[in-house]
Structure 1
Amino acid sequence: MTTKRGQKNFSQGVIASSGAVRLKPEGIFVKNRLSAADWFLNEQDDVRSCHFLEDVATEFDIQGLEFDWCLVAWDADYRYVNGQFEHWKFTGTTWKRRQQEEQQRYLENAYRVLLIRARQGMVFFVTLGNAEDATRVPRTSG
């Protein structure tokens, strides 16, 4: 597919877990509503399209879709600590561990959907955190 200007039209977009609510301070709002059809199908010059990299789609919006390139925004809901993943959920003002195996599988599947969308490649955005915000504590190891 080509654009009106004759340039190659690659599909690209920012995607994140629907539970990635503490990416909001970085300008990544997973709770915003978007029209999946406008986001995925519209041309590069349409601000509603994925090409503008302004709106974030979650695993629900992109299930079954593929992109050429993805920017995957990774939050602290699925943390890699001491050689294994931990499952978390942000509730109210704090992070809580997901104890139920069903909830843990759901989170793993959400990230699996995100990680298998790109045909050409993907870039990961992982926030550094903020020492002044107890919900986004920077980690130096783990």
Structure 2
Amino acid sequence: LRRAGLVCSAKAKRLRAEGLGAQLHGADEEVVNWFLRRWPDIRASDALEVCATEYACQGLELDLVGLAWGGDFVRAGDRWQARRLSGARWNVVGQAETRRHLRNTYRVLLTRARYETLILVPRGDPQDETRPPAEAEALAEYLLACGVPLLGNDEAAGAKAEARLL
């Protein structure tokens, strides 16, 4: 039986608007339960209720990983932009070391799966300045251009995917 679980950046604070606010942060009993328990135990990664952050999952793997991409690392034109949520707005990270740390966070998260990684790029909300749809679309388009396939895209039927699930 393969193991599945959700992961996200510890700095991806606006994922809570998508129902992904519960996070595992460090090496404690909750993390042990998340990795070792099996569904129907609600503490297990298979329950898909809690995202493990880079701190909880570094050095550990699951068979299938759902990566919830946060607004802390987005595309800005032709480059990556690291950001930190301060109050109700994102601030661009200026320190090079902090930018490298955030880039490494997503490298860690993208390499936690043995077999498959599914990337969720939330659509955003035009009413929420911390989740602009244009940023989500730019990220999704970039990932598609890199060869990440779009799930749920039924070209034969001419259907347009509502959610940007990659």
| Structure with the largest fraction of helix | 2
| Contact kept in structure 1, 2:24 and 2:31, CA below 8 Å | no
Amino acid at match of 2:120: F
Q: Displaced runs of 4+ in structure 1, greater than 4 A?
A: 30-34
Aligned partner of residue 35 in structure 1, secondary structure:
helix
Aligned match of 2:2: 10
Deviates more, 1:84-93 or 1:26-35: 26-35
Aligned match of 1:69: 64
Q: What number of residue pairs does the alignment pair up? A: 134
CA shift digits 1:23-54 (9 cap, x unpaired): 11100115566710000100222110000100
- What TM-score do the two structures reach when normalised by structure 2? 0.76
Q: Pick 1 or 2: higher relative contact order, CA cutoff 8 A, min separation 6.
A: 1
- What TM-score do the two structures reach when normalised by structure 1? 0.88
Q: Distance in 1 between matches of 2:73 and 2:38?
A: 33
- Identity across aligned pairs (percent)? 34
Aligned partner of residue 133 in structure 2, secondary structure:
coil
Relative to 1, partners in 2 of residues 1:68 and 1:48: Cα closer, same or farther, differing over 3 Å?
same
Q: Distance in 2 between matches of 1:94 and 1:79?
A: 14
Give the root-mean-square deviation of aligned CA atoms.
Answer: 1.6
Relative to 1, partners in 2 of residues 1:86 and 1:56: Cα closer, same or farther, differing over 3 Å?
same
What residue ranges of structure 2 are gaps of 5+ in the alignment? 140-166
Amino acid at match of 1:121: E
Relative to 1, partners in 2 of residues 1:78 and 1:30: Cα closer, same or farther, differing over 3 Å?
farther
What residue ranges of structure 1 are gaps of 5+ in the alignment? 1-8
Aligned match of 2:21: 29
1:81 and 2:73 correspond: no
CA shift digits 1:67-119 (9 cap, x unpaired): 10000000111112322111111111110000000110110111111011111
Q: Distance in 2 between matches of 1:82 and 1:67?
A: 33
Aligned match of 1:45: 40
Q: Distance in 1 between matches of 2:95 and 2:51?
A: 28
Aligned match of 2:106: 111
1:129 and 2:124 correspond: yes
